[in-house]
Structure 1
Amino acid sequence: MNNINPPVLIIDDDAVDRYILKRLIKEAQLELTIFEKSDGQEALEFLIAYDENKKKYPGRFPPIIIFLDINMPRVNGIQFLEAFSELRKTIELNSCVIMMFSTSEREEDRVKILAHEFVIGYLLKGALSAQELKEKVLAVLNG
Protein backbone atom coordinates (compact mmCIF):
# COMPACT_ATOMS: atom_id res chain seq x y z
CA MET A 1 0.00 0.00 0.00
CA ASN A 2 1.16 3.51 -0.74
CA ASN A 3 1.69 5.09 2.68
CA ILE A 4 2.67 8.53 1.40
CA ASN A 5 -0.85 9.75 2.18
CA PRO A 6 -2.47 6.97 4.22
CA PRO A 7 -6.24 6.81 3.80
CA VAL A 8 -8.71 7.54 6.57
CA LEU A 9 -12.51 7.64 6.60
CA ILE A 10 -14.49 10.14 8.67
CA ILE A 11 -18.07 9.06 9.39
CA ASP A 12 -20.13 11.83 10.98
CA ASP A 13 -23.49 13.37 10.13
CA ASP A 14 -22.36 16.81 11.31
CA ALA A 15 -20.44 18.72 8.62
CA VAL A 16 -18.98 21.04 11.27
CA ASP A 17 -17.58 18.10 13.25
CA ARG A 18 -16.06 16.64 10.06
CA TYR A 19 -14.50 20.04 9.35
CA ILE A 20 -13.11 20.28 12.90
CA LEU A 21 -11.53 16.82 12.63
CA LYS A 22 -10.01 17.70 9.24
CA ARG A 23 -8.67 20.93 10.74
CA LEU A 24 -7.09 18.94 13.61
CA ILE A 25 -5.51 16.60 11.05
CA LYS A 26 -4.08 19.61 9.22
CA GLU A 27 -2.85 21.22 12.48
CA ALA A 28 -1.17 17.92 13.35
CA GLN A 29 0.60 18.11 9.98
CA LEU A 30 -0.66 14.67 9.03
CA GLU A 31 -0.67 14.08 5.28
CA LEU A 32 -3.67 11.79 4.89
CA THR A 33 -6.10 10.91 2.12
CA ILE A 34 -9.47 11.72 3.67
CA PHE A 35 -12.76 10.12 2.68
CA GLU A 36 -15.96 11.45 4.29
CA LYS A 37 -19.37 9.86 4.75
CA SER A 38 -22.34 11.44 6.52
CA ASP A 39 -23.70 8.32 8.23
CA GLY A 40 -23.04 4.66 8.85
CA GLN A 41 -25.19 3.48 5.93
CA GLU A 42 -23.26 5.60 3.43
CA ALA A 43 -19.98 4.35 4.92
CA LEU A 44 -21.04 0.69 4.75
CA GLU A 45 -22.00 1.12 1.09
CA PHE A 46 -18.57 2.67 0.45
CA LEU A 47 -16.79 -0.27 2.11
CA ILE A 48 -19.02 -2.91 0.47
CA ALA A 49 -18.01 -1.51 -2.93
CA TYR A 50 -14.53 -2.82 -2.08
CA ASP A 51 -13.41 -4.03 -5.52
CA GLU A 52 -14.74 -0.95 -7.29
CA ASN A 53 -13.11 1.44 -4.78
CA LYS A 54 -9.82 -0.51 -4.81
CA LYS A 55 -9.63 0.23 -8.56
CA LYS A 56 -10.97 3.79 -8.25
CA TYR A 57 -8.54 4.75 -5.45
CA PRO A 58 -5.39 2.64 -6.04
CA GLY A 59 -3.16 2.63 -2.95
CA ARG A 60 -5.73 4.69 -1.04
CA PHE A 61 -8.43 2.12 -0.32
CA PRO A 62 -9.45 0.64 2.05
CA PRO A 63 -8.96 3.24 4.78
CA ILE A 64 -6.46 2.37 7.51
CA ILE A 65 -8.35 4.34 10.17
CA ILE A 66 -12.06 5.06 10.45
CA PHE A 67 -13.11 7.96 12.70
CA LEU A 68 -16.66 7.10 13.74
CA ASP A 69 -19.35 9.17 15.43
CA ILE A 70 -22.00 7.44 17.55
CA ASN A 71 -25.14 9.54 17.13
CA MET A 72 -26.15 9.56 13.46
CA PRO A 73 -29.36 8.95 11.49
CA ARG A 74 -30.10 5.76 9.53
CA VAL A 75 -27.16 3.67 10.81
CA ASN A 76 -25.59 4.99 14.02
CA GLY A 77 -22.06 4.26 15.21
CA ILE A 78 -22.97 1.24 17.33
CA GLN A 79 -25.00 -0.29 14.48
CA PHE A 80 -22.09 0.43 12.12
CA LEU A 81 -19.71 -1.47 14.42
CA GLU A 82 -21.96 -4.55 14.35
CA ALA A 83 -22.26 -4.44 10.55
CA PHE A 84 -18.52 -3.75 10.16
CA SER A 85 -17.73 -6.75 12.33
CA GLU A 86 -19.74 -8.96 9.94
CA LEU A 87 -18.30 -7.24 6.87
CA ARG A 88 -14.75 -8.04 7.98
CA LYS A 89 -15.63 -11.74 7.58
CA THR A 90 -16.24 -11.34 3.84
CA ILE A 91 -14.14 -8.34 2.75
CA GLU A 92 -10.44 -7.72 3.38
CA LEU A 93 -10.79 -5.02 6.06
CA ASN A 94 -8.69 -6.58 8.82
CA SER A 95 -6.01 -3.89 8.55
CA CYS A 96 -8.65 -1.23 9.19
CA VAL A 97 -9.09 0.07 12.75
CA ILE A 98 -11.70 2.37 14.24
CA MET A 99 -11.32 5.37 16.51
CA MET A 100 -14.58 6.60 17.93
CA PHE A 101 -14.95 10.38 17.69
CA SER A 102 -17.99 11.35 19.71
CA THR A 103 -19.48 13.72 22.24
CA SER A 104 -20.91 10.80 24.23
CA GLU A 105 -19.29 10.32 27.61
CA ARG A 106 -21.71 7.53 28.57
CA GLU A 107 -19.79 4.66 30.11
CA GLU A 108 -22.22 2.09 28.67
CA ASP A 109 -21.46 3.40 25.15
CA ARG A 110 -17.74 3.23 25.80
CA VAL A 111 -17.89 -0.36 27.14
CA LYS A 112 -20.06 -1.59 24.25
CA ILE A 113 -17.83 0.08 21.67
CA LEU A 114 -14.44 -0.91 23.10
CA ALA A 115 -15.57 -4.56 23.24
CA HIS A 116 -14.80 -4.73 19.50
CA GLU A 117 -11.14 -5.69 18.99
CA PHE A 118 -10.82 -3.38 15.97
CA VAL A 119 -11.80 -0.28 17.99
CA ILE A 120 -8.54 1.18 19.24
CA GLY A 121 -9.58 4.49 20.71
CA TYR A 122 -12.38 6.65 22.05
CA LEU A 123 -11.80 10.32 21.31
CA LEU A 124 -14.05 13.01 22.76
CA LYS A 125 -15.07 15.83 20.44
CA GLY A 126 -13.94 19.16 21.81
CA ALA A 127 -11.37 17.59 24.12
CA LEU A 128 -8.93 16.33 21.49
CA SER A 129 -5.79 18.29 20.67
CA ALA A 130 -3.92 18.13 17.36
CA GLN A 131 -0.91 16.67 19.20
CA GLU A 132 -2.98 13.87 20.78
CA LEU A 133 -4.53 13.10 17.41
CA LYS A 134 -1.11 13.00 15.77
CA GLU A 135 0.23 10.59 18.40
CA LYS A 136 -2.75 8.25 18.02
CA VAL A 137 -2.67 8.25 14.21
CA LEU A 138 1.10 7.75 14.06
CA ALA A 139 0.85 4.88 16.55
CA VAL A 140 -1.51 3.11 14.11
CA LEU A 141 0.49 3.96 11.00
CA ASN A 142 3.79 2.89 12.55
CA GLY A 143 2.32 -0.40 13.76
Structure 2
Amino acid sequence: MQQPSVLIIDDSEIERYILSHQLKKIGVSEIMQQTNGTSGLEFLKNHSQNLQQYGASFPPAIIILDVNMPIMDGFEFLQKFAELKTQVDLDICQILMYSGSDDPQEKARALQYDFVKGFLIKGESSTEELKIEIGIT
Protein backbone atom coordinates (compact mmCIF):
# COMPACT_ATOMS: atom_id res chain seq x y z
CA MET A 1 0.00 0.00 0.00
CA GLN A 2 1.32 3.42 -0.96
CA GLN A 3 1.74 5.81 1.96
CA PRO A 4 -0.17 9.09 1.77
CA SER A 5 1.66 12.28 0.86
CA VAL A 6 1.74 14.97 3.55
CA LEU A 7 1.93 18.76 3.49
CA ILE A 8 3.16 20.39 6.70
CA ILE A 9 2.14 24.03 7.20
CA ASP A 10 3.93 25.44 10.24
CA ASP A 11 5.96 28.60 10.81
CA SER A 12 8.37 26.79 13.15
CA GLU A 13 11.33 25.20 11.41
CA ILE A 14 11.86 23.00 14.47
CA GLU A 15 8.27 21.71 14.42
CA ARG A 16 8.51 21.01 10.66
CA TYR A 17 11.74 19.10 11.28
CA ILE A 18 10.24 17.04 14.12
CA LEU A 19 7.12 16.21 12.10
CA SER A 20 9.17 15.33 8.99
CA HIS A 21 11.32 13.00 11.09
CA GLN A 22 8.26 11.31 12.61
CA LEU A 23 6.60 10.97 9.20
CA LYS A 24 9.70 9.41 7.64
CA LYS A 25 9.88 7.03 10.58
CA ILE A 26 6.37 5.72 9.82
CA GLY A 27 7.10 5.37 6.11
CA VAL A 28 5.80 8.59 4.53
CA SER A 29 8.14 9.36 1.65
CA GLU A 30 6.55 12.45 0.08
CA ILE A 31 6.60 15.34 2.56
CA MET A 32 5.95 18.89 1.38
CA GLN A 33 6.39 21.96 3.59
CA GLN A 34 5.10 25.53 3.75
CA THR A 35 5.80 28.16 6.40
CA ASN A 36 2.39 29.83 6.78
CA GLY A 37 -1.24 29.62 5.74
CA THR A 38 -0.88 32.03 2.83
CA SER A 39 2.03 30.15 1.27
CA GLY A 40 0.16 26.89 1.91
CA LEU A 41 -2.88 28.10 -0.01
CA GLU A 42 -0.72 29.41 -2.87
CA PHE A 43 1.02 26.04 -3.01
CA LEU A 44 -2.33 24.24 -3.29
CA LYS A 45 -3.58 26.72 -5.92
CA ASN A 46 -0.63 25.89 -8.18
CA HIS A 47 -2.34 22.62 -9.00
CA SER A 48 -1.04 21.97 -12.52
CA GLN A 49 2.54 23.00 -11.68
CA ASN A 50 2.58 20.77 -8.59
CA LEU A 51 1.08 17.84 -10.50
CA GLN A 52 4.09 18.03 -12.81
CA GLN A 53 6.53 18.20 -9.90
CA TYR A 54 4.93 15.72 -7.49
CA GLY A 55 2.86 13.52 -9.83
CA ALA A 56 0.41 11.25 -8.04
CA SER A 57 1.58 12.61 -4.66
CA PHE A 58 -0.25 15.88 -5.34
CA PRO A 59 -2.53 17.03 -3.91
CA PRO A 60 -1.38 15.81 -0.52
CA ALA A 61 -3.72 13.37 1.21
CA ILE A 62 -2.93 14.89 4.61
CA ILE A 63 -2.24 18.49 5.59
CA ILE A 64 -0.79 18.98 9.06
CA LEU A 65 -1.76 22.55 9.92
CA ASP A 66 -0.39 24.65 12.76
CA VAL A 67 -3.08 26.65 14.51
CA ASN A 68 -1.00 29.67 15.57
CA MET A 69 1.03 31.24 12.77
CA PRO A 70 1.79 34.77 11.63
CA ILE A 71 0.40 36.14 8.33
CA MET A 72 -2.52 33.65 8.28
CA ASP A 73 -3.35 31.38 11.20
CA GLY A 74 -4.80 27.90 10.96
CA PHE A 75 -8.43 28.98 11.34
CA GLU A 76 -8.12 31.59 8.59
CA PHE A 77 -6.55 28.86 6.45
CA LEU A 78 -9.53 26.55 7.08
CA GLN A 79 -11.97 29.22 5.86
CA LYS A 80 -9.91 29.93 2.73
CA PHE A 81 -9.32 26.22 2.12
CA ALA A 82 -13.09 25.59 2.16
CA GLU A 83 -13.45 28.25 -0.55
CA LEU A 84 -10.50 26.92 -2.54
CA LYS A 85 -11.98 23.40 -2.56
CA THR A 86 -14.84 24.74 -4.69
CA GLN A 87 -12.34 25.95 -7.33
CA VAL A 88 -9.62 23.28 -7.30
CA ASP A 89 -9.99 19.52 -6.83
CA LEU A 90 -8.72 19.05 -3.28
CA ASP A 91 -11.28 16.50 -2.11
CA ILE A 92 -8.54 14.01 -1.24
CA CYS A 93 -7.05 16.42 1.33
CA GLN A 94 -7.78 15.88 5.00
CA ILE A 95 -6.43 18.20 7.66
CA LEU A 96 -4.88 17.40 11.00
CA MET A 97 -4.71 20.48 13.20
CA TYR A 98 -1.45 20.88 15.13
CA SER A 99 -1.53 23.06 18.22
CA GLY A 100 0.48 23.88 21.31
CA SER A 101 -2.81 24.10 23.20
CA ASP A 102 -5.29 21.42 24.20
CA ASP A 103 -8.10 23.97 24.47
CA PRO A 104 -11.39 22.05 23.91
CA GLN A 105 -12.99 25.13 22.30
CA GLU A 106 -10.15 25.36 19.78
CA LYS A 107 -10.53 21.67 18.99
CA ALA A 108 -14.32 21.92 18.63
CA ARG A 109 -13.95 24.94 16.35
CA ALA A 110 -11.54 23.07 14.07
CA LEU A 111 -13.64 19.91 13.96
CA GLN A 112 -16.64 21.87 12.63
CA TYR A 113 -15.05 21.52 9.19
CA ASP A 114 -15.79 18.15 7.59
CA PHE A 115 -12.29 17.97 6.09
CA VAL A 116 -10.58 18.29 9.50
CA LYS A 117 -9.73 14.74 10.49
CA GLY A 118 -8.12 15.28 13.89
CA PHE A 119 -6.29 17.46 16.37
CA LEU A 120 -2.71 16.85 17.50
CA ILE A 121 -1.01 18.52 20.46
CA LYS A 122 2.58 19.67 19.91
CA GLY A 123 5.05 17.89 22.13
CA GLU A 124 2.47 15.31 23.19
CA SER A 125 1.80 13.52 19.92
CA SER A 126 3.80 10.33 19.55
CA THR A 127 4.90 8.77 16.29
CA GLU A 128 2.35 6.01 16.93
CA GLU A 129 -0.49 8.53 17.38
CA LEU A 130 0.58 10.28 14.18
CA LYS A 131 0.51 6.94 12.37
CA ILE A 132 -3.04 6.27 13.59
CA GLU A 133 -4.31 9.77 12.76
CA ILE A 134 -2.87 9.57 9.23
CA GLY A 135 -4.38 6.13 8.78
CA ILE A 136 -1.25 4.07 8.24
CA THR A 137 -1.72 0.47 9.32
Q: Deviations over 1:59-100 (max 9, x none)?
A: 111000000001101111000000000111111001110001
Q: Partner of 1:99: helix, strand, or coil? A: strand
SS of 2:49's partner is: helix
Distance 1:96 1:31 in 2: 15
**Length-normalised TM-score, structure 2:** 0.93
Identify which of 76, 93, 96 aligns with 1:96.
93
Equivalent residues of 2:6, 2:64 under 8 A apart? yes
Where does residue 14 of structure 1 map in the other structure?
12
Q: Which runs of 5+ in 1 are unaligned?
A: none
Paired residue for 2:24?
26
Q: TM-score, normalised by structure 1?
A: 0.89
Please give the alpha-carbon distance, in whole angstroms, between the structure 2 residues aligned to 1:14 and 1:4. 28
One-letter code aligned to 2:16 = R
Q: Which residue of 2 aligns with 1:74?
A: 71
Aligned pairs, number: 137
Does 2:37 align with 1:46?
Answer: no
Q: Secondary structure of the equivalent of 2:32? A: strand
Residue 117 (structure 2) pairs with residue 124 (structure 1): no
CA contact (8 A) 1:70 1:104 kept: no
Instruction: Please identify, of 88-97 and 18-27, the stretch whose mean Cα deviation from structure 2 is larger.
Output: 18-27
Is 2:86 the counterpart of 1:105?
A: no
Query: Could you tell me which residue of structure 1 aligns to residue 133 of structure 2?
Result: 136
Report what 1:58 is aligned to: 55
* TM-fit CA distance, 1:5: 4.7
User: What is the alpha-carbon distance in structure 1 between the residues aligned to residue 53 and residue 21 of structure 2?
Assistant: 26
Whether the 8 Å CA contact 2:5–2:28 is kept in 1: the answer is no
Identity among equivalent pairs (%): 39
Deviation at 1:22, TM superposition (A): 1.3
CA RMSD of aligned residues (A): 1.5
2:117 aligned counterpart, secondary structure: strand
Q: Distance in 1 between matches of 2:135 and 2:29?
A: 11
Any conservation in 2 of the 1:101–1:125 contact (CA below 8 Å)?
yes
Displacement over 6 Å in runs of 4+ = none
